Structure 1
Amino acid sequence: MSLPPNTLDYWRGELHSGRVSSRELTELALQAALNSSEAQSTFIAVHAATARATADAMDTLRAAGVPLAPLAGIPISIKDLFDENGQVTRAGSIVRNDAAPASRDSIVVERLRQAGAVIIGRTNMTEFAYSGLGLNPHYGTPRNPWDRETGRIPGGSSSGAAISITEGAAVAAIGTDTGGSVRIPSALCGLTGFKPTARRVPDTGVLPLSTSLDSIGPLARSVSCCAQLDAVLSGTSRTDLRPVSLANHRFAIPRTLVFDGIDATVSAAFEAACGTLSKAGARLVEIEVPEFAELAHINRHGGFIAAESWTWHADMLGQREAEYDPRVAVRIRRGAAMRASDYITLLNDRRRWSAGVQQRLADAGCDAFLMPTVPVIAPPIAALRDSDELYTSTNLLILRNPTLFNFVDGCALSLPCHKPGDAPVGLMVAGMHGQDEQILMLGAAIEAAL
């Protein structure tokens, strides 16, 4: 048994009506977290006792007629990067098994608890969040819900976050996104994921990958779910997803880079989605964004991720490298060769590059970018596990489109655009710094049209 696939609004209505209790929801989620086919590779820790206690408390308050917070009694999972009082933050690694438990909750966890969420447990991830594929040699790799027989990647780094939802162990999940780590697993697993402007959600108590690029966002089953979770995480009032007409909006489809290497399934799904949006009145404008083609060269020394992860890992990696995933360790070590001048050049390049991208969007008179989240469907795990060369090339390809909007410090939403039963494909609508509420509203309109 597991949670049936429904939205936050659905479960809130069921709880309010009394048709289901939080304890019943929580028991279904726990059964999936502990006993589903992907349970062992989806969760690093399951909080059965505290989840049941929280659920019972929410049921008691609801029965007494006490006004409840927006997530009251709803099972949520959190990525193994967020500090929880009394829990070890392992970041999907065995290197931190003997680390001291956190002495307090991260701000994200504090806000989830204040909103009444039942935290089911801590989800598996790529070690230290350093890959877009989701493979983990320490805790296993949960299989994508589509084509389980082949065994395909879930996407990363928030791999367990996505699978906790598809397995019915959580209504929604909280992940991090440094180069696509919320949007990639959402796209590959048929979910909706939101990457906010980086500083919209505080990262206090979150183990970092890149302090310049890290952002924190939700994975869920609808744009409305993501907007509600974003409001809790950011401490803002709920984004009003009032209906907007696509006829009043123009979207830029960049023809530079983002379609390179696209497979037939993703291409067909994207083109079909564009046709639907055009019929709904959206104006789709193809543009060139030459800045996109420059990013690989800008990051040629390893970029912010290598420099900033090396700063955090240098001592521990020097002492315990044998315990790291070798594919993670080798990328962290790139930061050791970076000079101060390389980092300063990177900062300057980012400002110039971001201004250029913003100008392209403005010159086209468009409200947002539209593109495939990932240019290929989820590849098989086994081939990537067995070949370093294939792992590296596939990782770069899958990260390529999402990471554009981390570097520009923008906001982006991935939502499903495939036909039911087909391989999951994500459609990304993305905007510039601080346009979070606009992107969520446009995303809701696109979701309704599709």
Structure 2
Amino acid sequence: MSTSAADHGHADWHRMSALELGRLFESGSADPREVTDDFLARANAADPAHRIYVRLLEARARAEADAAAARAKSGLRRHALDGVPLSWKDLFDTAGEATAAGSLPLKNRMPERDAEVLARATRAGAVCLGKTTMTELAFSGLGINPNFGTPANAHDERIERVPGGSSAGAGVSVARGLAAAAIGTDTGGSVRIPAAWNGLVGLKTTTGRLPLAGTVPLSPTFDTVGPLARNVEDAAALLSLLEGRQTRSLEAFDLTRATFWLPGGIAWSQLDDGIAAALEAAIRRLLHGGARIVEHGLPELDEIDALAWSPKTSRLVAEAHAQWGDMLAANKAGIYPPVYERVMAGASIAATDIVAADLKRAEIRARYLAATAGVDAVLLPSIAISPPPIAALEAGGDAYFRANRMALRNATIGNQLGLCAVTLPAGYDQLGLPVGLMLQAQPFMEEKLLRLALAVERILRE
């Protein structure tokens, strides 16, 4: 559907999807320079303490918007998202601009070139607005970072709640209308958690689908790149942007031909009441929409959860320590204590235990893939709990670690098994906070997963 300048004035740009903005640029109904200026002005006004954006890259953004405007005027736009303003998590290298991954010892780290995915997006014409705040070294699902700033969840104006992490500022930048979409990373849920808690779509790509070159690592075995967006079509367009290819038309899957697995077990246990109620309603809507839902146990989920969280066999913790243990030991006073504790726990993990865990993970994965080969996706709550208040957790301790594990628990499964997954808004809890429903699919099935997600999104929005 075409959109005119009369239909969408200046005040509405920040509420529009990334593809809607792209269509305005294509038709000449909006100018990338004016839209970029509007987003920059909004970010400066809404985020004076830099809790959402570590820094805005205003000169870069305006230069990129100038180039996008010239291409649009000449009919030479490079991509459906050419000229669209995006935010980038502060672990993607940006040439000549500090990239600190939320850690004070890295505050003067100055890359010489852009991360590969940022370079691809820039070549396709996307505008880089700036770098968003994140959990230190991407090592938490809550999004708390006292040293660089913790952005408050976008859906509670009364109590400042955790935004979800580690792509904290990424989620809040989109939910508060300070970017058309955001790019983050997901090692154990770090795209899907802030997306779910801020009412967005978050895509966890299959391990290896998108390059990690130029990203500050946490655990190279599990690190993945993915978008946070207003809707599924935007997420699909962003995936194409990051892959360096053109956007293809996304057709919704026929839900009457879809089979979903509802596994119960660990992933559906200990849900907050409001989350359980919202997801039960969402499942009923899928059934009414013609989807086939199979309720059956899937013990591999419980097994991979136990393996992932065992303190003696965590490859993620071991790799985090191998990457950052020396730096943290030399700068303990400047490190957020919960992150320091989790990373340094890797010092006591034995190599033989990691190898044994790798073999066990591969065996569980093989059984999971065989068991789920006949279904289109597995349905899970994106997060078991609603976002807690920041003040209750910032000091760390047992409350922090309990909340962190419950935030990460379900999302981590997909990383451990090397799958792709997407979280979709699925209603609200009793506090009026967003609830996410996760669709988890087999590796490298993003295109089919996004078609399924588009169909589910339409049912849930009716």
* TM-score, shorter chain, exceeding 0.5: yes
Corresponding residue of 2:168: 159
1:138 partnered with 2:151: no
Residue pair 1:31, 1:169 contacting (<8 A) in 2 also? no
Deviations 1:91-131 (A, max 9, x none): 011111233x1011110111110110110000000000000
Q: CA deviation at 1:61?
A: 2.0
Residue pair 2:305, 2:409 contacting (<8 A) in 1 also? no
Q: CA deviation at 1:302?
A: 5.3
Residue pair 1:309, 1:332 contacting (<8 A) in 2 also? yes
Query: Residues 157 and 67 from structure 1, CA distance in 2 versus in 1: closer, same or farther, beyond 3 angstroms?
Result: closer
1:440 partnered with 2:457: no
Corresponding residue of 2:358: 347
Q: CA deviation at 1:13?
A: 1.6
Secondary structure of 1:198 counterpart: coil
Q: CA deviation at 1:24?
A: 1.1
Residue pair 2:424, 2:457 contacting (<8 A) in 1 also? yes
Bigger shift: residues 217-226 or 365-374 = 365-374
Task: Give the 5 Å matches for 1:262-411.
Answer: 262-299=271-308, 300=310, 301=312, 303-362=314-373, 365-411=374-420
Query: Which residues of structure 1 form unaligned runs of 5+?
Result: none
Query: Residues 67 and 294 from structure 1, CA distance in 2 versus in 1: closer, same or farther, beyond 3 angstroms?
Result: closer
Q: CA deviation at 1:297?
A: 3.4
Q: CA deviation at 1:239?
A: 5.0
Q: CA deviation at 1:405?
A: 0.4
Q: CA deviation at 1:158?
A: 0.3
The AA in structure 1 aligned to 2:41 is Q
Secondary structure of 2:434 counterpart: coil
Instruction: Find the aligned partners of 2:247 and 2:127 in 1 and give their Cα distance.
Output: 20
Identity of aligned residues (%): 38
1:169 partnered with 2:178: yes
Instruction: Find the aligned partners of 1:265 and 1:203 in 2 and give their Cα distance.
Output: 37
Deviations 1:329-370 (A, max 9, x none): 1111111111110111121011011112223323xx321101
Bigger shift: residues 394-403 or 35-44 = 35-44
1:83 partnered with 2:93: yes
The AA in structure 1 aligned to 2:161 is R
Secondary structure of 1:393 counterpart: helix
Residue pair 2:338, 2:396 contacting (<8 A) in 1 also? no
Residue pair 2:121, 2:241 contacting (<8 A) in 1 also? yes
Instruction: Find the aligned partners of 2:313 and 2:362 in 1 and give their Cα distance.
Output: 17
Task: Give the 5 Å matches for 1:204-223.
Answer: 204-223=213-232
Instruction: Find the aligned partners of 1:277 and 1:105 in 2 and give their Cα distance.
Output: 42
Query: Residues 302 and 379 from structure 1, CA distance in 2 versus in 1: closer, same or farther, beyond 3 angstroms?
Result: farther
1:449 partnered with 2:459: yes
Normalising by structure 1, what TM-score? 0.96
- Of 436, 443, 450, 1:426 maps to 436
Instruction: Find the aligned partners of 2:408 and 2:248 in 1 and give their Cα distance.
Output: 28
Residue pair 2:192, 2:202 contacting (<8 A) in 1 also? yes
Instruction: Find the aligned partners of 1:156 and 1:302 in 2 and give their Cα distance.
Output: 23
Q: CA deviation at 1:11?
A: 0.7
Secondary structure of 1:95 counterpart: helix
Normalising by structure 2, what TM-score? 0.93
Instruction: Find the aligned partners of 2:332 and 2:396 in 1 and give their Cα distance.
Output: 21
Tell me how many residue pairs correspond in the alignment.
Answer: 447
1:189 partnered with 2:198: yes
Q: CA deviation at 1:14?
A: 1.5
Corresponding residue of 2:27: 17
Secondary structure of 2:51 counterpart: helix
Query: Residues 287 and 235 from structure 1, CA distance in 2 versus in 1: closer, same or farther, beyond 3 angstroms?
Result: farther
Secondary structure of 1:59 counterpart: helix
Secondary structure of 1:178 counterpart: coil
Instruction: Find the aligned partners of 1:68 and 1:360 in 2 and give their Cα distance.
Output: 42
Corresponding residue of 2:208: 199
Query: Which residues of structure 2 form unaligned runs of 5+?
Result: 1-10
Residue pair 1:408, 1:432 contacting (<8 A) in 2 also? no
What is the RMSD of the two structures over their aligned residues, measured on CA atoms? Answer: 1.7
Residue pair 1:239, 1:437 contacting (<8 A) in 2 also? no
- Of 111, 115, 123, 1:106 maps to 115
Bigger shift: residues 115-124 or 27-36 = 27-36
Query: Residues 84 and 293 from structure 1, CA distance in 2 versus in 1: closer, same or farther, beyond 3 angstroms?
Result: same
Residue pair 2:419, 2:443 contacting (<8 A) in 1 also? yes
The AA in structure 2 aligned to 1:391 is Y
Instruction: Find the aligned partners of 2:155 and 2:139 in 1 and give their Cα distance.
Output: 24
Instruction: Find the aligned partners of 1:85 and 1:142 in 2 and give their Cα distance.
Output: 25
Q: CA deviation at 1:3?
A: 4.2
Deviations 1:282-323 (A, max 9, x none): 011111111222234323125121111111112212211221
Residue pair 1:144, 1:151 contacting (<8 A) in 2 also? yes
The AA in structure 2 aligned to 1:36 is A
Q: CA deviation at 1:157?
A: 0.4
Corresponding residue of 2:128: 119
Bigger shift: residues 219-228 or 36-45 = 36-45
- Of 7, 27, 42, 2:17 maps to 7
Deviations 1:61-80 (A, max 9, x none): 22223243332111000000
Secondary structure of 1:258 counterpart: helix
Runs of 4+ off more than 3 Å? 235-240
Deviations 1:395-427 (A, max 9, x none): 001100000000000000001010599310001
Secondary structure of 2:444 counterpart: coil
1:29 partnered with 2:28: no
Residue pair 1:5, 1:166 contacting (<8 A) in 2 also? no
